[in-house]
C-alpha cells in the first residue's frame, strides 16, 4: 500500500510508476534476507540493476557523499570509471566485510574470467548502524544470508522492517526499507526515476509529513538530541543520462531528505548511488568507440523534481510500512502507525 492510499495524501505533483517502487525501472529487482529473533534484528537487502550479467554488461553510474559518516565499499571505482558492475548490497555496519566477500564469491561463480583472464571486480556494499535494536557485535549476518537476499530479488518486494531495514530507526521511529518512483515524458516517451532508501536517520521532533510537522508525543520515543544515524539512497532510471548527469541527480537527494525534516547531522552518514539502465558498458567491447546517449541539460529539471519527490516519499514509505520492533535489551522502535493510533499495540509485540 502506498502513501496516497494509506494516508490519503499525495507527495508532489508527478505521476508515480505502477508499483511506486524502484522496480518500476524495467529490469531492476530487490531482494531481502531478514533476521528477526530477539536480540538479533538485522538483515541484508540486494538491488539488481538488471536481470543479466552486470559484470559483463555494466550500467553507467555515479555516487555522491552528502555526509561521509559511513563505511561503504566500492564508491571510489564507481566515481572513477562511471560504471556499476555488481548488484548493490545493503546491510549493517559491522557486516560490510562479510557482504563484500560474499558478493565477490557470487560474482566469481557467475564469471569464470574474473581474476583470471581479466581484472578483478568492484563489489558495492553500503551500510547503516542497527546496533540500537540488534546485537551488532554478534556478527550475525553470514555469507549464506547474502546469497538468500540475491536469490530473493523480484519486482514486488517488501518495504519497512525487512532485510537490511529490520533493525533501523528513522526519525526516532521504526524505519527501514522505503521505495517510490516518478514518471516523466521526454520526446513524448515515458521514463522512470525510482528510488530505494535504507532509512536510519534524523530525529522525531523534526519529522515532516507532506509539509506538515508531526507533533504527536509518545512515551516510547527516545530522547536523542542529535542525529547519529544514516540513510543510504539508491536511484535508478531508464532515462539516458551520462555519469556527470547521474552525479547531478544524486545531489538532489538532499531536497527529498530535507522535506521530511532531516538536517543531515554530524554523526549521520548520507550516501547516494545512482545508475541508468539505458547506457550500458560492455566488459568486452567490440569497437574502440562506444556510443552514449544522454538527455539535454535544458530538460533535466524534470528529473531533479522526480528525485526530490521520490526520495521524500520513499522515506515516508519506510515509516509507513515498518512494524513496531522490540529488539536488543527490550529496546522498542515504535512504528509511525502505532504512534498515530496512540501506541496501543506496542505492548502486544513484546
222 is a catalytic site residue? no
Comparing C-alpha atoms, which of 266, 274, 261 is closest to residue 229? 266
Comparing C-alpha atoms, which of 294, 188, 282 is closest to residue 247? 294
Pairing mode, strands 230-237 and 269-282: parallel
Residue among 23, 100, 134, 268 flagged as catalytic: 268
Residue among 158, 270, 312, 313 flagged as catalytic: 270
Residue among 100, 179, 230, 317 flagged as catalytic: 230
Helix H or strand E segment including 36: strand 29-37
Comparing C-alpha atoms, which of 7, 68, 39 is closest to residue 166? 39
DSSP code of 154? B
270 is a catalytic site residue? yes
Task: Cell numbers for 309, please give them.
Answer: 519527490
Max distance between CA atoms of the chain, in angstroms, equals 65
- Contact at 8 Å (CB) between 231 and 198? yes
Phi and psi torsions of 14, nearest 5°:
-85, 155
268 is a catalytic site residue? yes
Which residues have C-beta within 8 Å of that of residue 286, sequence separation ≥ 6? none
**Active site positions, annotated:** 230, 268, 270
Amino acid at each position: 500500500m502506498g502513501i496516497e492510499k494509506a494516508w490519503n495524501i499525495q507527495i508532489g505533483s508527478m505521476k508515480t510508476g505502477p508499483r511506486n517502487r524502484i522496480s518500476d525501472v524495467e529490469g531492476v529487482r530487490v531482494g531481502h534476507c531478514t533476521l528477526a529473533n530477539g536480540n538479533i534484528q538485522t538483515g541484508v537487502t540486494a538491488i539488481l540493476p538488471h536481470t543479466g550479467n552486470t559484470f559483463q554488461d555494466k550500467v553507467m553510474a555515479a555516487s555522491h557523499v552528502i555526509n561521509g559518516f559511513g563505511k561503504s565499499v566500492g564508491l571510489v571505482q564507481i566515481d572513477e570509471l562511471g560504471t556499476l558492475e555488481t548488484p548493490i548490497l545493503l546491510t549493517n555496519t559491522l557486516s560490510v566485510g562479510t557482504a563484500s566477500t560474499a558478493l565477490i564469491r557470487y560474482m566469481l561463480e557467475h564469471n569464470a574470467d574474473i581474476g583470471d583472464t581479466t581484472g578483478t571486480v568492484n563489489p558495492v556494499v553500503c551500510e547503516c548502524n542497527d546496533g540500537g535494536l540488534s546485537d551488532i557485535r554478534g556478527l550475525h549476518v553470514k555469507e549464506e544470508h547474502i546469497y538468500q537476499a540475491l536469490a530473493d530479488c523480484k519486482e514486488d518486494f517488501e518495504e519497512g522492517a525487512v532485510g537490511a531495514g529490520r533493525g533501523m530507526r528513522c526519525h526516532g521511529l521504526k524505519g527501514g526499507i522505503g521505495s517510490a518512483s516518478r514518471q516523466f515524458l521526454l520526446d513524448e516517451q515515458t521514463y522512470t526515476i525510482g528510488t530505494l532508501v535504507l532509512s536510519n536517520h534524523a530525529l522525531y521532533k523534526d519529522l515532516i509529513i507532506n509539509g506538515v510537522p508531526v507533533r504527536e508525543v509518545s512515551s516510547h520515543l527516545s530522547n536523542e538530541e542529535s542525529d547519529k544515524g544514516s540513510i543510504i539512497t539508491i536511484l535508478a532510471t531508464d532515462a539516458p543520462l551520462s555519469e556527470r548527469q547521474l552525479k547531478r541527480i544524486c545531489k538532489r537527494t538532499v531536497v527529498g531528505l530535507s522535506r521530511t525534516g532531516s538536517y543531515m547531522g554530524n554523526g549521520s552518514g548520507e550516501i547516494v548511488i545512482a545508475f541508468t539502465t539505458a547506457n550500458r558498458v560492455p566488459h568486452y567491447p567490440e569497437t574502440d568507440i562506444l556510443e552514449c546517449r544522454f538527455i539535454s541539460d535544458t530538460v533535466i529539471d524534470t528529473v531533479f523534481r522526480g528525485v526530490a519527490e521520490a526520495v521524500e516519499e520513499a522515506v515516508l514509505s519506510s515509516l509507513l510500512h515498518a512494524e513496531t520492533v522490540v529488539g536488543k535489551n527490550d529496546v522498542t522502535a515504535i512504528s509511525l502507525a502505532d504512534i498515530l493510533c496512540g501506541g496501543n499495540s506496542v505492548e502486544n509485540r513484546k
